[in-house]
Chains A and B, each alone.
Chain A
């Protein structure tokens, strides 16, 4: 079942603006990961945040995790047209074995030049 739910489903912004995407989940997790997918392509790993971490940065990306609210956010600063893609959160749930990932339905981000 899809436990991650991204919000919003679609986001359209201008180049240079910041984009914030949110993800909620339902179970206890080992970690949460964010992936990007360009249309019709495979997924590109962006960042992994462990359950005992609250915030993580990677370049223009900032991820937060609130395990008490079972939610995470992905912030992309100073967006570029090349950031246009679908963004998925995925959880590695404690109840499941083998680190299988449970994905949300994604947020479609469009950055207009």
Chain B
């Protein structure tokens, strides 16, 4: 197992365009999280899935953002009509729910630059 993977690693787009990111979690992990990190800050929670169900969304996740996790495996995060303020690193993490103290394993992130 190679850990959490994300694709693409970098994305440059023009304002107003749509972008989609993919995350492949560790295979047996049932929870998947999306975070956003801007320069010099810690990651901020966006949303999470338990299996295929999206159980929580942050207020940071505007209606231009949508995330899916069909079949409880990989997940996609789509941003519609991108704005310059969307420029950030988008991080995916996965974990195995088994009581208190689950460790989240992070992917390498997708760095988005909106021009």
Give A contacts to B, CB under 8 Å: 2, 4, 30-31, 33, 35, 40-45, 48, 50, 88, 90, 92, 96-106
The docked-state distance in angstroms from the alpha carbon of A103 to that of B91 is 13
B108 & A31 in contact (Cβ 8 Å cutoff): no
Seed contacts A42-B108, A99-B31; 10 additional CB < 8 Å A-B pairs: A2-B41, A30-B100, A33-B104, A43-B106, A45-B104, A97-B56, A98-B48, A98-B56, A101-B33, A101-B43
Q: If the complex has contacts A42-B91, A45-B104, A50-B101, are A103 and B50 also in contact, measured as CB distance less than 8 A?
A: no
A88 & B42 in contact (Cβ 8 Å cutoff): yes
> Which of B44, B95, B101 gathers most chain A CB within 10 Å?
B101
The docked-state distance in angstroms from the alpha carbon of A101 to that of B104 is 9
Complex A-B: 24 CB contacts under 8 Å: A2-B42, A2-B44, A4-B42, A31-B100, A33-B103, A35-B106, A40-B111, A42-B4, A42-B108, A48-B103, A50-B100, A96-B56, A98-B48, A98-B55, A99-B95, A100-B45, A100-B56, A101-B33, A101-B35, A101-B104, A103-B35, A103-B42, A105-B42, A106-B42
Give B contacts to A, CB under 8 Å: 4, 6, 31, 33, 35, 40-45, 48, 50, 55-56, 89, 91, 93, 95, 97, 100-109, 111
A41 & B108 in contact (Cβ 8 Å cutoff): yes
Smallest CB separation, B111 vs chain A (Å): 7
